[in-house]
Amino acid sequence: MYCWYEIDEDRYGIMLLDVVGHGIGASLISMSIRSLLHGLITRLADPVKVTRELNRHMRNLYRGETGMVPAYFTALYLVVDCKRKTIEYVNAGHPPGMALFGDGRFEMLSEGTIPLGILPAIEITKGVISYTDIDRVRLALYTDGLVEREGEPTLDSVENLKRFLLDHYWADNHTVIERTVAEYQAEGSLKDDVCLISMTISC
């Protein structure tokens, strides 16, 4: 599940999350989380605060009688601040997103914490990426269904995805998504549902 909201005239919040499991149970959890996101993101904004509140929500609502949590989810949440020219994010056990620049530079969005809902108290590290007026930043967020490929280590698959996205850096977002999914489907390696977000920062 993914969403993005305008927090104020300078900031935008974007989130991609993936509930562990399949079927009705996972869908109901996604719907419950989805109902909270607009208020959390526009009210708290900060990636650490939003992540901590989502962890608390999962612990409170999905705690079993034995004290065990029957469900958890991974998430990648970021705030783009056009005034400060920063991208602040927290990665909660999710595949690392990518920030790519026109000169070939890239940064993996890997700072953060463990998946949400597992522990009542979690340590959270916020990542910060800065850019300038002349930078054209491409952000790519995806679920593990895109990079978990049969017969290939996940780290190798992530590296191949990075190279593919750099090769298609100047394409528009719609084309990037179409070509990426087509490339991976052509190899017959997609075994799970896939979500891929491509966005370009031009502020």
pLDDT tens, residue by residue, 105-124 = 899 999 999 999 989 999 99
CA 158/CA 172 separation, integer angstroms: 21
CA 27/CA 18 separation, integer angstroms: 10
Distances in whole angstroms, Cα of residue 66 to Cα of each of 28, 49, 70, 114, 197: 21, 28, 10, 22, 38
Residue 30's pLDDT is 83
Residue 66's pLDDT is 53
Prediction pTM value: 0.91
Yes or no: say if 40 and 53 are a contact pair by the CB < 8 Å rule.
Answer: yes
Nearest to 95 by CA among 162, 25, 181, 37: 162
Looking at 42-46, 56-60, 154-158, 181-185, which range is the least confident one?
181-185
Domain 2-201 has CATH 3.60.40.10: yes
Which band of pLDDT confidence, cut at 50, 70 and 90, is reported for residue 21? low
Domain boundaries, the chain: 2-201
- Asked whether residue 155 carries a pLDDT value surpassing 80, the answer given is yes
Question: pLDDT of 75-104, one tens digit each?
Answer: 999 999 999 999 999 999 999 999 999 888
